Structures are given as structure tokens and as C-alpha cells.
Chain A
Amino acid sequence: MTIIVYEGRELTRAPQESVLECLQRSGVPVPSSCRAGACQSCLVRAVAGAPPPEAQKTLKDTLRTRGYFLSCVARPTEDLTVSLADAELRCAARVHSLSPLSPTVVRLRLCPEADFAYAAGQFLNLSRPDGLTRSYSLASLPGRDPFLELHIRLYPGGQMSTYVQTLRPGDQVFLRGPAGDCFYVGGRPEQPILLLGTGTGLAPLYGIVQEALRSGHRGPLVLLHGAARSDGLYLGRELRELAAAHPNLTYLPSVLQLAAGPPAEDPPTADVLEGALDTLLAARYPSLRGFRVFLCGSPELVTALRKQAFLAGASRKDIASDAFLTAPPAPVSPPPSATGSP
């Protein structure tokens, strides 16, 4: 049992409680989303005391050295005094445009109001003015695109999904980041690269592919995009055009079951592979020796494919992944009483 000091209040943290749980239990408005140490929404800063190393290891140096840590995975062995992530880490941005990419995915383009440096494929945390935060990967290309592009999967009843659909050009949102290890690294222009994503996992891969091509990457670039049904695929036309313009790029869209959805137009059904992604991958690329591998999207698939890629010969240090963890559903509040609320 240790103490967490926040704004002068001493909060007792129960033995197995994370710092996040302790703070939220005490009414402190710490944002959170994945609650698994990945999305970085729950970032807080230790102003006194040393945060546990496991809660800092995925953070970039500039954050680590300033005492920032991920509160959802922090179970410190000593007392800490914490403050919420400094406002200086936040960047305001204006909505540039919002347009549908598919029945369930919208493209949100944002213009940051201050310099927002990132590498194509990293992710950022998007916050509603009241603090609700979710992570989204960047699909835009820094330097070329004046906007930041996010592909947002709309979940029926989802808090952020509902909010995003109310956004209009000019509205202000808040960003924090970037973070994440999925980005193109130069220096090996002949290396074969496999990019595999499910659903909106395409977003970071789209950015990475464009960055690789812009850098003059000559080795094969294989982009495998999987969806449950054909209406989950998107940007098919753009990717086919990109592949046509760059002989080293291979675009392979796939769905679990072709017959389950409407006939595909973008990309056309004839080009769409059918089957489970891991099976398709094993069949087409039984050896991934020497490959750089990017895996983005469904957590179950990303975990399984990391192992599969490794067993197929890819070195662990050449495998970068981003599991798109979804936030647990918000607790359902009971409907207001018919006789009037207190």
C-alpha cells in the first residue's frame, strides 16, 4: 500500500490498484482508454518520487526524463506525488474536414495550431474538450500534407464516435503525441517490407508506405489489408493507383468472406482475396527472413501474427506492431426516475 499525493490530497493506493484506478476512484479526471499501457491517454507526471520503470519503458526519452509515466500500469513501491499531464503537452487543432471512407470509417483531417512533428505511422491522442481521449494512428505524410489525417472507426454508441460525428470544419480539438514505433526507418532501401493491417489498421500503413516510397525505397513493399467483409475495405482505388505507379508496391486487399458483404467496388471483387489473414500470409509469404514487418489493427490478430512472423524468420527487432485496443464500453447509467431526480 502506498500513497499518491495529488493537489495536496493524500490518496491511499490499495496494494493491487494501479495509480490510474486510485486516481479515478478518488475523482481525479485522468483520461484513459485502453487501460493496458498502450495508448498513453493516462499519462501523468511524477513530481516527487520515482515512477516504476514498467510504467515508463515505452515512453520517449523526453517524457521519461521529466517523470511522466503510464498510470494504468503503474503499481509503485514508493509514495509518489503526481500531476496530470502538463497542458504544454497538448496541441490544439482545428477540424479541416470530415468525410466517409466506408460505411464505418471516416477520414478526419485536422490542422494543428502549433508545430506537431511526427513520423508517418505514429499515433496521437485526440481529446474532446471535456477530456475524453482516444488514440488514432496518423495516415498523413509529414511535410507533404499540411493536415493530420486520421481514420476513425465509428462504433454505434461509442462516446468518441458520437462526438466525432458532430465535428464541423473549424471546430477545435486537442491532441497529444505523437507516440508509437510503427514508422519507416531509412538506411535499408532494398529490404522487403510487409505491412499488414486489419480495418483502420490501414491508416498507419498507408502513411508508412507513402513515406517509404518518398524515401526512394526500392525493396518490395507488400501491403495486406484485411477486413471482415468487403465494405470494411477502403482507399482501394488510391492504393491500386499507387501500386500501378510503383512496381515494387503490391496491394493485397482481403476479406474473410466475400459472399457476406455487398459486391466490392473499391477495390473490385475480382482483386480481393478471401480467407483468414494468417492463412493468406502463410500461403503467400512462408518465409519472412530479412523482412521488416508492420502489424496494425485487431489485438488478437496482431499478437498471433507477431509470433507467426517471427516463426517465419523475421527478427523480433524488425517486427513493429500497434494493437488497436478499444476502450471498455462506458458504464450504462440508469435512466432518470420518472418521478424526478433529486
Chain B
Amino acid sequence: MSIDLSVELPGLHLKNPVMPASGCFGFGREYSRFYDLSKLGAVIMKAATKEARLGNNTPRVAETSSGMLNAIGLQNPGVHKIIEEEVPFLASYDTSIIANIAGSSIEEYELVARTFNETENVHALELNISCPNVKEGGIQFGTDLNMAAKVTERVKLASRLPVYVKLSPNVSNIVEMAKAVEAAGADGLSMINTLTGMQIHLPSKRPLLANRTGGLSGPAIKPVAIRMIYEVSQHVSIPIIGMGGIETAEDVLEFLLAGASAVAVGTANFQNPFACPDIIDALPATLATYGFDSVQDAIGKGVLSL
């Protein structure tokens, strides 16, 4: 029996539902030395801002139990360089390209979104309103209902591409947030971004990260992601790209059952550079084991009716 891994989402014809998560895969060049990126359902590029950003001081990463904290600080070469140098590289592979966009003002988000209209090779935007590691912008848009709706609306007007809004788990009611951005015109959701955390370094008796706080990712946050996707998927009709600690094909199935239509793999790439292709290879057998003959068939099947 052949298992159909394909998924159709706004702007994205995915051959399989697996894509590397933004910020964990750069612009693909490094991992292209390990495997053919055409294997991937899509690639979500590292966040783009208007100008180049140098990010935070180091240390920027700290390991935790079953996860890690990072505070990179949206380091990137700026949207123009990304379009000139990085998008053409990724476009040489047979995979969809999603651009993650960030900014410190609504105007910056609009400008970055509009700039991506210039290239034919980007298929969707992921609107990053949930980065916990920058002083201005980022998460302040993602934790305020009105701001989140406003930036979504303005980016939708500025862009010709479908917009997936990346939600922060650092809110008291994620369902309200999801509904607000859906009402503002979002074509899809991407969730969850990292949970804000901190680690104190005993020898120095100080926060280990130079930024003090960082975003927690990895298997530690998977149950939080599953719970949030499960709740949100019942209250919105737009598709969800799920992420948070995915390491195996079984994890992917769990996300699909909770209501995600596709998934992104982040931290797992660091331990296993082949994480994405390994998961893609294992997915058909995993789906079959649990009685599904397609990815589509599994989406939302774990959600008990209200």
C-alpha cells in the first residue's frame, strides 16, 4: 500500500509535511552538504529584517533537560541580501520556500513583506510575531491581541503571498490569539515558537545566556505544543504548521492528530543533521502502523469533539 504524504496548503504544494523550522536551518546551505534539500516538503528560512542584524552577545545557547535555550537575536543579513543570495540557492532545489519575516515596527514588517513580492521563488510568508530574544518588536506583537491582528492585517495588505502567523506560547490564551489573527486575514498559523526561559550558571552565579533569557525549544516543549495545537485547531478553520520538539515520525503523527496539517523540525537538526530526511523516510511506515493511508487522513483525527 502506498502512503500519500502530500499536503495542500495555501500557497504550498507539499510533497511531504516535513520542513526545517526557521532559525534552525540557516538558509539551507550547511545542511545541503549532508543531503539533497529537494527531499524536504519545504524550507522555512531564517528570519529576515529590513537591515542586517548582528544579534545578541554570546553565549547564545544553553542546554537544558530535554531541550535548549537560545537567544540568537534575529541575526540575519537583511531582506535584500536574502533575496539576492539565499533565495536563488534554495530555489535550485525542488522544494517550497517560506520566508520568515520580523521587524521592530509594523512599518518594518510591511516593508520586508513587500520586498519579498519581488521574488517569484518564495511561496509563503511566516510572520514572526513571537521572537522572545529581541528588545523591540518580536514578541510584543505576539502577546497583544490588537497588535497581532494589526500587524497581520497590514502584512496581508502589503504581500501577495499567503501569510502564516507564528504564534508565541507565552500568552495566557492562545485560542484568542489564533482567532484574532485569523479574523485579521491570516492564511495559516505556525505554532509554537519557543517558551521564554532562563538558566543560571553556578560557577559565575549569573544567567548563562548573555541576553539573560532565551527561548526554550526541543522535546521539553512538545507537550505544550501538542496541547496548544489541539485547542487552537478546534477554534480556527485555517491550517496549522505545528512545531515544538519534533524528533521522530511518531512525533509528527502526534502533531497531525492534534490538528496540525504540516510540521517543522527545529532543534532536532542540531543533534542529527539528517533529522528531516530520517523523519520523512520513516513517516509512511508510521502512518501505516496506526492505520492511516495518507497524511491528510490523520490531520485532526486525535481531536475529540467538544
Query: Are chains A and B native binding partners rather than an unrelated pairing?
Result: no
Interface residues of B (CB under 8 A from A): none
| Residues of A near any B CB (own CB < 8 A) | none
